[in-house]
Chain A
């Protein structure tokens, strides 16, 4: 039971005191003890991962793939992600140089933001949004510019975006759709219009499209289709394939950016876990049918 002295504890980075554990998880933990409670709190699929995916993880373990993987993730998985992005969203990302496998979309967001932001940089965040964006920005000393979209049915409009970009010298926009918490998403036409505004500025757009496979009306269209040169596309296997616990996320972006993001990925985790990567390879390659079971 080591006890730290108050004076030493006072010497930690003062930002830490302003950071909170994720509110959603804290609330979930708090209500979990209520007898008979039905929790619809956590954004996590209730399905088990498909059997094929589990079999791939088991085979990887049995085959003693217990050594350090490649820093950016196994080439097989990066290829599967590249194929998935082409097949589903008509995107063109090279497995060799434009994709990195991360520990969940969370690491993808954190390392990407850390790569582009220095303390004091402004970042546009449409709200209501996923609270972790604000937490990560705070931890990096960046300044969120929250844009309330409730007035427009929870959609960021081109006019609103243009106004914010006029008033703020923002370094980046965090753009999440389909949206957590509203479920709202954007049509191809809306995205094209927003992209036209973004194109007029030297800004990065962090497109968090982790829920891309969960569109119930129209097929998902990626922002990267309209704005490939500025988009840092974040997604993963967690939601679509009911494999949150495998923690497989990815970033696709222009190669020079991936080179930079790779440094922080290496410093943060070295590389991903082989059995998770083997499972995700099968997910992206072979489990399109399993996704539609979630209808």
Chain B
């Protein structure tokens, strides 16, 4: 039991005090104690990784691929990623120089921001969004500039972007995530092109986190890199589409001159990725389009069931175009207090959803539901929420009757 003195502990990097452990995981752990709770909290596929993918990982272990891999990742995997980006999104990236394999999209996001940011640099972050971006920016001494997209149906409009860039002309980077965690909203080709035309007028990087690109239900995904390849750092990975979160495969694609720099920080951070995970991901990107389609269909069925059920209960949801999230407006009785609603729902209905304010400005008054969970679980959750809301209405009615 080593015990550090307070004097020494005070000497750590002062930025540490501003950094909080992930609030989503914290809330998840808090409600996990409640007996019989159904948790729709985490953004993690409930499927197992495809059999072919597992077989490739096993073969790699058995073939003693236990030595250091190449720093940017196996070339076979980088080729598979380039082919995937070309086949699916019509993008043209050179495997040898323009693609880097990272420990999840998480690492790709961190080392990209660390490469471009100096202390004091502004980063434009449309919200509500995945909280990691803010944490990374703050930890690097950068300054997040939040743009609340709630008034526009959780879509960043060209007008709002133009105004933001005019106010912050020296911003270093714009973080863009779609299909969005937590709202599920995505962008059409026309919308993207309009945004790209504005971004082009500035020397600003766009970090486009498209990790959910394979999970769209209303349209084919179009990448920001199609309109703005020179400025885009494209982030993706195998976690969500292939149900491989635990394999920690991230993908970064960008101009070679930038990848060269980012690779240095990758080397300092982790040296290189794990061989068996890379072997698995190579098969995923090369051979698993059909497996993705099966999982996407399952998400789509759940999504339709849920949208129908919540509309029926009189609740509205943000346009559920992609990913596996529904962003649900909480009942008027709770006002904007999504935290109170989420806690009450967890305690009384035994269904756990994440309070929307965890995702930044514009998230208040909403909760996020992850439908990366079995249909049976989702059906039970819906029933519990319905019964709880009916009970709530009845109690309200009785209160009125007493007055």
Contact = CB atoms under 8 A, between A and B. Distances in A.
A13 B21 CA distance: 26
A168 to B, nearest CB: 14
Contacts of B54: 61-62, 64, 66
A72 to B, nearest CB: 11
Interface string A33-55: 00000000010100011000010
B269 interface: yes
B64 A263 contact: no
Interface string B1-45: 111110111011111100111100100000000000000001010
B114 interface: yes
Given A57-B276, A118-B15, A268-B107, A230 B68 contact: no
Contacts of A94: 1
A68 interface: yes
A228 B2 CA distance: 5
Given A3-B230, A257-B9, A132 B2 contact: no
Nearest to A21: B264
Contact of A115 (B16, B61, B67, B243): B16
Interface in B354-379: none
B210 interface: no
Nearest to A242: B66
Contacts of A92: 1-2
Interface stretch (A100-108, A149-157, A173-181): A100-108
A93 B225 CA distance: 48
Contacts of B264: 16, 19-21, 135, 139
B122 to A, nearest CB: 12
A243 B65 CA distance: 9
A48 B107 contact: no
Nearest to B228: A2
Given A48-B64, A247-B274, A257 B261 contact: no
Contacts of A8: 203-205, 230-231
B114 to A, nearest CB: 7
A293 interface: no
Interface centre among A20, A64, A117 (most CB of B within 10 A): A64
A281 interface: no
Contacts of A68: 42, 44, 245-246
A42 B246 CA distance: 29
A184 interface: no
A136 B230 CA distance: 28
Contacts of A244: 66-68
Interface in A14-42: 14-16, 19-22, 25, 42
A239 to B, nearest CB: 11
B15 to A, nearest CB: 7
B231 A202 contact: no
B139 interface: yes
Contacts of B203: 5, 7-8, 11
Contacts of B232: 2
Given A2-B232, A244-B67, A245-B275, A12 B116 contact: yes
Contacts of B66: 48-49, 54, 242-246
B5 A58 contact: no
B3 A229 contact: yes
A267 B257 contact: no
B245 A67 contact: yes
Contacts, number: 254
Contacts of A16: 115, 261, 264
B114 A103 contact: no
Interface residues of B, number: 89
A1 B245 contact: no
A148 B172 CA distance: 40
A183 interface: no
Interface stretch (A122-130, A158-166, A213-221, A272-280): A272-280
Interface string A230-256: 110000000000111111000001101
B246 A69 contact: yes
Nearest to B21: A263
A225 B231 CA distance: 51
B44 A67 contact: yes
Contacts of B103: 103, 268-270
A254 B3 contact: yes
A81 B265 CA distance: 27
List the 7 closest pairs (A to B, CB-CB), nearest first.
A2-B229, A228-B2, A254-B4, A4-B255, A269-B103, A64-B48, A48-B64
25 contacts: A4-B257, A8-B205, A13-B116, A19-B264, A25-B267, A61-B54, A61-B57, A61-B61, A64-B48, A71-B25, A92-B1, A92-B2, A117-B13, A139-B264, A171-B11, A230-B4, A230-B8, A246-B274, A257-B4, A268-B269, A269-B106, A275-B57, A275-B276, A276-B274, A279-B61
Given A139-B265, A263-B135, 12 more contacts: A1-B92, A1-B94, A2-B98, A16-B264, A67-B246, A106-B267, A245-B66, A245-B69, A254-B2, A260-B16, A263-B19, A273-B246
Interface of A: 1-5, 7-9, 11-16, 19-22, 25, 42, 44, 48-49, 54, 57-58, 61-62, 64-69, 71, 92-94, 98, 103-104, 106-107, 110, 114-119, 132, 135-136, 139, 171, 202-204, 224, 228-231, 242-247, 253-254, 256-257, 260, 262-264, 266-276, 279
Interface of B: 1-5, 7-9, 11-16, 19-22, 25, 42, 44, 48-49, 54, 57-58, 61-62, 64-69, 71, 92-94, 98, 103-104, 106-107, 110, 114-119, 132, 135-136, 139, 172, 203-205, 225, 229-232, 243-248, 254-255, 257-258, 261, 263-265, 267-277, 280
